[in-house]
Structure 1
């Protein structure tokens, strides 16, 4: 348990503080306008603390702090540390969906529109998020008649550029045909700009311009052009009709609705731009720390706006109740946006009605989440208890690791490690191993993989705290149950590695044989009785199958790379960048093979020695200059 720092050593200044466990891992990060006042709250009689706070204090072995200039800097430092360390006692955001966005690749010569998920990248404008990918495709289907920009992949674009023929989308007027020079770059850029403006909510100017152009074309007796503009205008108006106007004044507002209990909170967000809902998002927060309603708002604001959201920062954030320190968060968001941002609790009118709608959405989603979790949680708890009893483990195995090998007749040997935490796959913790074992030797491969993984844990555990740094290593946590795919032979290998590293009393091992789904543990010649059809056996089968899938996927990747090895590989001085340039300049590998030495030397990016090495590779026995 952490001891109270000596009196007078804690500064009465703003800053961030970090509690660390016995291994030096950061387990909680907080911020305070006065570190002395805030930290003193943790060092009172344990029975006066909230149960979660008491558990954190009892787990911690030390506390450190960093002084900053003001509360906004404390907030920014706290968010940065939480993101870096992912402390176990801080609120955790569990977003089980990778929400799709409508993305426009404005950094390309001919930008395209597409559905994108996952990490955001520079040079792309994002709109949304949307609840479902089909909602994006429906929206695009309407808008492409008005803003016919390309949606094809780079490979498809280059193929039609080479063929000199456009694809079907051009013929049905859903693409302007940049691949075959049917449109110049500046008019195409104008289409892209108009599409982005429309998706950002600037619809009035576009409608007015299309109406004016249609009337002008009709006046000039250009009836075909007028008809095309009329069709574009109708498509735009249909798309606008799908975006309900929810607030007056064409404002940019984010609306946060919350439904919660003592353990979790369901959060729903509506993104309103120019008065219309252009995206929505939902997630669940685990309340692993003590939270007042105001502090819950604090954590949600940090989670949502810590990294710049795809739709940018709004002018107003509507919340159901006030943050604990509204002024600090408004100052922080104002700094991030570059102009004034307000955090408000609407009391009446359209905004109050909108907040109530979002809150109802949060409540409905929370009900669905609890129904799913009740089933899942009870099942997983029962499975972990069954495994603890069947395998005679000292505690329920909250972290289970399973290992499997994959190869093809002794080639491209690989190993996999998959992890279940609290009965759920933690793919962030999965690991893949390249195995250096000659021939077909599953036992040797398993021994190499387990030794590498467990030796890394031992090294990390035994390092002095001051040498570890702030971030734990990738093998810093030991399994509470180590499972290998196989029978007694694989089990004996795992047992031998664990014994050699002195981890016998710390890490239990077991093996799951494919035949008859039998479970073996050290010291018993007969398999352990784990009831067929039980939740415990099903959990072992699931992690074994996942390890098998993960190993096979990695094995196929390695084999594919080996089989598609280029003739240009292994030429001294010809790296990836030069190889790509040379292929582009020469038109392919066959042209390079036929090229004369002088032709290779003529490329400015290719040094003479590299050109000679390429020539010698494909002209064995020929003389150079």
Structure 2
């Protein structure tokens, strides 16, 4: 464990100007980013007596091994640089108000020809407009069901849409007039988009205009004695009013504002945000985060505003090229109501106004409806923190006990904060794959998961698990060594003596940062504990690879399935952990996750090989035209029943290729003189031949699941 006194800079060398600072661990990984009006004053606080520091601050300074800073001209520049560095380095000790992926939103795929309405959870995508988030998915579905009678837009998936387009019949929603059925041509693409635009306007707050239009149409239909249409419009108007009732008016003046509130204790803080648009609460979201420093309420407000609205602005920029992005006025509202102003409120307000492209009012509500709403948001934050404490208390204790138990049982220098585990999956030596999963602080870090395709053994087809473990270990740590070399300006050679290209030190000044992408290298630092699925032979193979590469700061163990024994290199007897210990439970979770990840990849690879299409055998027919054929006909079975003339309707497919396709599907010769082939029909019952996938993947695959 590093001692802060060993890397404390001399007080006189730290400038008194505003700036941003970074703490790095012994491997050069950035673990914390902060900003200060006075760098000397702020940094001196980190090197005080450890017993006086906040628990998370104490853990941070004892994890770090160095500190560096960058001086800027103004506090606004420091604010922007701090946000950029937090986003770039993703420091583990910084508070991250990530977009909450557990809250459902109502999504509209405006980037498609026929936009679709659907409930969605997850990261934002291009070409999609989002409304919400909402507390419950059922609330979205209930509201959507009411609005579909007024705005009968498409809600089906791409597969369902394509299938009904091929069969020429709409789905049930089309028959009951809750879908305009663009799949069968009841409305054109322009007419369907007009319906979707009205739906988006209604959810965006333009409700009065739409309701007046429906009411005027109802009265016009009644005057024309079209009472059936007037009755439908009357029901539509009732559905719109019922949907509006679910969004209570909280601010009568049509205010656009975000209301933010906090509840916190010594270790954690909960934040809740109510999004008010047009005087109505349009969405709500919340987070619970750890407090790294003993930050007071104004500092918590500043951290949240910069990160939350910075992320929203980044999402907007990522979708601008599709025309589906929200405007800056929707990302940052006219008013942001907070429980306390940040220390540099003017600078934060200026930064928010720059994101919005117009003025922003950042203030604390003092009286009236806005103060009452702020109190409601604060009660929600306090309730969220209380529920989180009840839910997570046992989990936090268990994870701490598990990491400490592993340190004690394996005689490690420190708790294994980063654990990596490797598992091999195959069936009798075929389709051999491996997975590498990563756990940090006892929790999975899925963005760092990796897949490996292993070269199969020649001869009898049997796979050597020991050799596979060695191959994966070598490839993983060659990547680590190469990343370090890229930062240090040295060369790295693999087992075959090939020299990796190393970046010059002047071109890669940031340790662990890829100079090409500007992003942190995921494997520029090693794990504290490397786990292999197996016993003594597998552990010995992995340890031998690390010795060969000169890596000495990684502990290697193996977890055998049969008796759950923990094998350590160069030890004849395994380490037996108590069956009820949290340490063993954590190892089992890591091993099982690696096994699940490997099995999933193995099944997908085997499935692709076993279901390889007979179209692969057609000379000159590439993947793009194969996909076009199957997409046009819907299935290989329908393609088999088609004629040559029908196949040539697909762009890029000529008569010769069409006859070759039919010949491949029916196992016949593609001879143009064959009457059956020339007519486009081949006798049924012929055998279909599928080709196997003989290719071997040699590249690592990253998957964020």
Please, what TM-score do these two structures have when normalized by structure 1?
A: 0.88
> 2:23 touches 2:66 (CA, 8 Å); kept in 1?
yes
Higher alpha-carbon deviation: 605-614 or 99-108: 605-614
CA apart distance, 1:479: 2.1
> 1:158 touches 1:179 (CA, 8 Å); kept in 2?
yes
Q: Which of 591, 594, 597 is 1:544 aligned to?
A: 591
Distance in 1 (CA, whole Å) between partners of 2:524 and 2:230 is: 68
Instruction: Report SS of the residue matched to 2:249.
Output: coil
**2:435 maps to which residue?**
416
CA apart distance, 1:217: 0.8
**1:532 maps to which residue?**
579
**1:459 maps to which residue?**
482
Instruction: Report SS of the residue matched to 2:97.
Output: strand
**1:506 maps to which residue?**
553
Instruction: Report SS of the residue matched to 1:551.
Output: helix
Distance in 2 (CA, whole Å) between partners of 1:124 and 1:45 is: 44
In structure 2, runs of 5+ residues without a counterpart are 1-5, 314-325, 489-504, 514-518, 674-705
CA apart distance, 1:495: 2.7
Structure 1 residues 50 and 391, CA, compared in 2 at 3 Å: closer, same or farther? closer
> 1:148 touches 1:191 (CA, 8 Å); kept in 2?
yes
CA apart distance, 1:186: 4.0
Distance in 1 (CA, whole Å) between partners of 2:35 and 2:300 is: 14
> 1:2 touches 1:63 (CA, 8 Å); kept in 2?
no
Distance in 1 (CA, whole Å) between partners of 2:544 and 2:626 is: 47
Structure 1 residues 71 and 392, CA, compared in 2 at 3 Å: closer, same or farther? closer
> Where do 1:135-150 residues align within 5 Å?
135-150=139-154
Instruction: Report SS of the residue matched to 1:298.
Output: helix
Q: Which of 112, 115, 131 is 1:108 aligned to?
A: 112
Higher alpha-carbon deviation: 374-383 or 39-48: 39-48
> 2:470 touches 2:545 (CA, 8 Å); kept in 1?
yes
> 1:94 touches 1:286 (CA, 8 Å); kept in 2?
no
> 1:92 touches 1:286 (CA, 8 Å); kept in 2?
no
> 2:418 touches 2:441 (CA, 8 Å); kept in 1?
yes
Mapped pair 1:192 → 2:240: no
CA apart distance, 1:363: 0.5
Mapped pair 1:369 → 2:373: no
Q: Deviations over 1:136-169 (max 9, x none)?
A: 1111111112211110012211211222211111
Higher alpha-carbon deviation: 491-500 or 145-154: 491-500
Higher alpha-carbon deviation: 314-323 or 514-523: 514-523
Mapped pair 1:126 → 2:130: yes
Structure 1 residues 287 and 207, CA, compared in 2 at 3 Å: closer, same or farther? same
> 1:405 touches 1:442 (CA, 8 Å); kept in 2?
yes
> 2:530 touches 2:554 (CA, 8 Å); kept in 1?
yes
Structure 1 residues 535 and 27, CA, compared in 2 at 3 Å: closer, same or farther? closer
Distance in 2 (CA, whole Å) between partners of 1:313 and 1:442 is: 55
Q: Which of 538, 543, 550 is 1:490 aligned to?
A: 538
Distance in 2 (CA, whole Å) between partners of 1:614 and 1:176 is: 37
Structure 1 residues 572 and 191, CA, compared in 2 at 3 Å: closer, same or farther? same
Q: Deviations over 1:55-101 (max 9, x none)?
A: 75673535242646x54444333212210111234323367743221
Q: Deviations over 1:451-490 (max 9, x none)?
A: 1112322333455543456344221232222222122222
Q: Which of 221, 227, 230 is 1:223 aligned to?
A: 227
Distance in 1 (CA, whole Å) between partners of 2:657 and 2:567 is: 58
Q: Deviations over 1:240-287 (max 9, x none)?
A: 111111112111111111111222211111111111111111112222
**2:406 maps to which residue?**
387
Q: Deviations over 1:12-49 (max 9, x none)?
A: 5x6544444554433333345x6xx3345324793279
Distance in 2 (CA, whole Å) between partners of 1:101 and 1:44 is: 42
**1:333 maps to which residue?**
352
**1:564 maps to which residue?**
611
Higher alpha-carbon deviation: 470-479 or 144-153: 470-479
Distance in 2 (CA, whole Å) between partners of 1:74 and 1:147 is: 47
**1:47 maps to which residue?**
48
Structure 1 residues 61 and 570, CA, compared in 2 at 3 Å: closer, same or farther? farther
**2:521 maps to which residue?**
473
Aligned residue pair count: 616
Mapped pair 1:447 → 2:470: yes
> 2:163 touches 2:634 (CA, 8 Å); kept in 1?
no
After superposition, the CA RMSD in angstroms is 3.5
> Where do 1:233-382 residues align within 5 Å?
233-308=237-312, 312-382=331-401
Please, what TM-score do these two structures have when normalized by structure 2?
A: 0.79
> 1:437 touches 1:444 (CA, 8 Å); kept in 2?
no
> Where do 1:166-185 residues align within 5 Å?
166-185=170-189
Instruction: Report SS of the residue matched to 2:237.
Output: helix
CA apart distance, 1:567: 4.2
Structure 1 residues 161 and 95, CA, compared in 2 at 3 Å: closer, same or farther? closer
Distance in 2 (CA, whole Å) between partners of 1:582 and 1:165 is: 22
Distance in 2 (CA, whole Å) between partners of 1:603 and 1:181 is: 21
